[in-house]
């Protein structure tokens, strides 16, 4: 454990940021599963909109890298097109 006050604060802040990033990545994975399990085109379209929106938000705040976001959006589009 750190002895310096600013480092203690930094440790707490880093943990908060890590949890926020985990929330985004977990939500993206969940929406991907819903997209893959969608039975019809309407459900697939709705799931695709949700996952795309989540990816854009995650990239905007820096939870995931922009190239990772682009790759995930591309995969989501391919899954939706297959439905």
Q: Which tens digits make up the pLDDT trace of 37-52?
A: 999 999 999 999 999 9
Q: pLDDT tens for residues 16-28?
A: 999 999 999 999 9
Domain carrying residue 50: 5-82
Question: Predicted confidence band at 1 (pLDDT cuts at 50, 70, 90)?
Answer: confident
CATH code, domain carrying 54: 1.20.58.110
Could you tell me the end-to-end alpha-carbon distance of the chain, in angstroms, rounded to an integer?
52
For the chain, the helix, strand and coil percentages under 3-state DSSP, each to the nearest 5: 85, 0, 15
Number of domains in the chain: 1
């Amino acid at each position: 454990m750190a002895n310096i006050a600013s480092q203690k604060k930094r440790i707490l802040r880093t943990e908060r940021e890590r949890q926020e990033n985990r929330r985004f990545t977990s939500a993206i994975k969940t929406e991907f599963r819903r997209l893959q399990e969608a039975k019809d085109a309407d459900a697939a379209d709705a799931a695709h909109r949700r996952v795309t929106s989540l990816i854009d938000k995650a990239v905007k705040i820096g939870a995931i890298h922009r190239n990772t976001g682009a790759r995930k959006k591309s995969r989501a589009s391919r899954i939706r097109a297959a439905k």
